[in-house]
Structures are given as C-alpha cells and as structure tokens.
Amino acid sequence: MSFRTTISWMLLPLTLWYAAGVAVRNMLYGMGLLRQESPHVFTIGVGNLSTGGTGKTPMVEHLVRLLSPRYRVALLSRGYKRSTKGFVLCDGTPDPDRIGDEAAMMARKHPEAIVAVCENRIEGINRLMSLANPPQVVLLDDSFQHRRIKPSLNILLTEYAHPYFDDFILPYGNLREFRSARQRANIIVVTKSPARLDPMEKHNIIASLGTKPYQKIFFSYLAYGTPVALADGSPRPLNPSDRLLLVTGIARPEPLLAEMRKTHKVTHLRYADHHRYTQSDIADIATTLEQLGPDGVFVTTEKDAVKLKPLMAALPNVAACYVPIEMHFHPSGDHDIDSQVLQMVQENIQFLFRLKNSPLTNSD
C-alpha cells in the first residue's frame, strides 16, 4: 500500500464527518431553516470553494477600480489575523495589525474606497450603512461560505492549475464545501490562467466546470508590473545581474516565483499565508541576503510589503521592493466581465436604495 493510499484511508473518517456537517448546514439554508439576509445595498461576494490561493485580492481590487469612479464603494472583509475584534473602520492609517494585511493594502492603494473589517458581516454592513455617507456598493471578500448574507452578485473563483472539479472536500482535498455549491455563483472566474490561453484547453475546462445556463464564465491571468521600492514607492526595475531573494506569505506563491525565475536566479523564503513577520524573520532575511552578495535584492508581494516595510528599517542599506500585480481578462466573445458587473449594478442599485433602510438582524 502506497503512502498516499495510507494517508487517504486515515483521512477518510474526518472527511466524512466534515462532509456531513457541510451537507447539513447547506440543507438547512436550502430549506430556509437557517435564514439569509439580503441587504438593502448592492453587495458583491467574492470567494472560492478551496482553502485559498485563487486570487481573491486581485479580483476585489479589479472591482474597486471598475466601480469607484461611478459609485461609493466599500470593502468589507473579516480582517484575518488582525489583533482587533469586531467592526473596525480604516481611519486613513492602513495598519495591518488593526485591519489585516489585505485590507491594509487595499486601503493604502485605494483611499477613495471605504475599507472596514468585521467578523459578523451583518453587523459590518449595518455599521457601514449608518455612516454619514454610506456606500452604494459593498464588496464582500472571501464570502462564499458566509451564507448569512445573500449577495446581490456572487463571484466564484477557481484556479486554472487547481480547479474545483479536480479537487475533493477537506481534509482529503482542499474544498471547503461540495462542488455543487458552484450553483450559487452568478459568475465563475478561472484565475491565473496562461496569458496565452489554448482554445481547446479553455473549451475543456468550461465543459468540466459543470455550470448552469444562468452562469457566466470568464478566464483571467495575472499581469506583473515594474517592482516598486519599499522605501519611497518609486519604480525599482530589476537589473539582469540582480540575485533575487523572494519572500512570500501568501497561499500560492508559485506563479510569482515562476515569473521571477524567467529572468533571474531566485532564492525563495516561503512563509504561511497571512504570516505576521517578526524581527527574527528579518534576521533570516538579512542572513540570506548576505549570502547572495552585493547583487542581492529583496523582493516581496504587495500584500506582504505592508507588514514588512516597518520592520525593514533594521536593514537601511538593503535594496527592497515589491511586485505589483493586476488581474486581466481574456476576451469572452460578445460580453466581458466589466460590462456584466456594471449592468447588474445599474439595474439594481436605484431599486435597492428606494427600499426602506431597515437594519438587519444582528446575529451570525
């Protein structure tokens, strides 16, 4: 018996218990015994079926760029691994310790958007709508399994290299719920696909997704920008002779690592997703850079940069930068995701704001 088979049998009881719990919970929501709230504000949920790494942050940022010039937009997330509790509204000082790394990054890059965190999404929306100038659109980050709120638009992400149809439920696989949960999505985005997508491969993936006629499918890829210096935010292009130390605390650093290795020799220090960096980590970074020699350059992700920048004061002479990324979309015939989202917002937002702004039940 192989090691993988042995592990599979060991995980089977846990997988069955977890699957049973997920099935009962979804059944109770389907029967209406567990109640969902439809807020009186247009909400867009962005989430996935897997445990992470599908590109939620670039997708949310794409929506902020799309909607902010037209509407008052708020981003509401849980604020994973923050030190605070309850509802916290970003006050203009994007502190990852108070609101989490992803929210802090978004607040720093998009001051035009309202950024808040709250474990209880119902309370979070109520608090946002009680502001003197409440949002017209609320983006709910990582919300697909938080079913107390029924978003106006549900966007489900699945990674090109790890699609949900090739995965299994936890803990044997990486799915947080059954593949059938995909039916709750209005839009499905296959993320991190190649910049040049083979038409036959695209066709095969679409066929395997098992979508319904009401669902729209889009394919996206990541575009990497010119590195930005941590010290002053100026462009810091990489030189061919640079030896890179890539430091990541994200779920799936493989695409960025592969991109960096196209042109440079890369040493990779990998930390867990949402890692909270310490002075000990900075010491490890300094030691590794010293081993790389005078051509060593410290490179990290934009999400990690908001946590690492305050600590990098201990290394004033180190060339340090982060790599910005954007989500781009492959052409999709006679429709694109931006027009789909804008159409839904335009059709619903005036109706929603005519409804009485009664508070939701504050329970989770």
Rounded to the nearest integer, the mean pLDDT of the chain is 91
Residue 255 identity (one-letter amino acid): P
**Lowest mean per-residue pLDDT among 1-10, 45-54, 267-276, 307-316:** 1-10
For the stretch 167-188, pLDDT in tens is: 999 998 999 999 999 999 999 9
For the stretch 9-45, pLDDT in tens is: 677 788 889 999 999 999 999 899 999 999 989 999 9
For the stretch 101-128, pLDDT in tens is: 999 999 999 999 999 999 999 999 999 9
Residue 19 identity (one-letter amino acid): A
For the stretch 140-167, pLDDT in tens is: 999 999 999 999 999 999 999 999 999 9
CA torsion, points 331, 335, 336, 342, in degrees to nearest 10? 170
- 273, 349: one domain: no
- 206, 312: one domain: no
The answer to whether residue 19 is domain-embedded is no
For the stretch 56-92, pLDDT in tens is: 999 999 999 999 999 999 999 999 889 999 999 998 8
- 128, 208: one domain: yes
Q: Percentage helix, strand, coil, to 5, in the chain? A: 35, 20, 40
Q: Check residue 55 and report its DSSP letter.
A: -
- 317, 344: one domain: no
Mean pLDDT of 263-267: 96
How would residue 4 be classed by pLDDT, with cut points 50, 70 and 90? very low
- 197, 345: one domain: yes
pLDDT for residue 2 is more than 50:
no
Q: What is the pLDDT of residue 6?
A: 53
How would residue 317 be classed by pLDDT, with cut points 50, 70 and 90? confident
Is-cis flag, bond preceding 171, omega within 30?
Answer: yes
- 46, 189: one domain: yes
How would residue 315 be classed by pLDDT, with cut points 50, 70 and 90? confident
pLDDT for residue 308 is more than 80:
yes
The answer to whether residue 11 is domain-embedded is no
Residue 232 sits in a domain whose CATH number is 3.40.50.1970
Structurally, how many domains does the chain consist of?
2
Which segments within 239-361 are labelled E, that is strand? 243-248, 265-270, 296-301, 320-323, 325-329
The answer to whether residue 288 is domain-embedded is yes
Q: What is the pLDDT of residue 347?
A: 87
Q: What is the pLDDT of residue 320?
A: 94
Q: Which phi and psi angles does 341 have, rounded to 5°? A: -65, -45
- 214, 70: one domain: yes
- 296, 217: one domain: no
Side by side, which strands form the sheet with 320-323?
228-229, 320-323, 296-301, 243-248, 265-270
Q: What is the pLDDT of residue 136?
A: 95
Q: With 0.85 as the threshold, say if the pTM is over it.
A: yes
For the stretch 227-257, pLDDT in tens is: 999 989 999 999 999 999 999 999 999 999 9
- 301, 333: one domain: no
Mean pLDDT of 333-355: 82
Domain interval for residue 234? 226-323
For the stretch 272-306, pLDDT in tens is: 999 999 999 999 999 999 999 999 999 999 999 99
The answer to whether residue 18 is domain-embedded is no
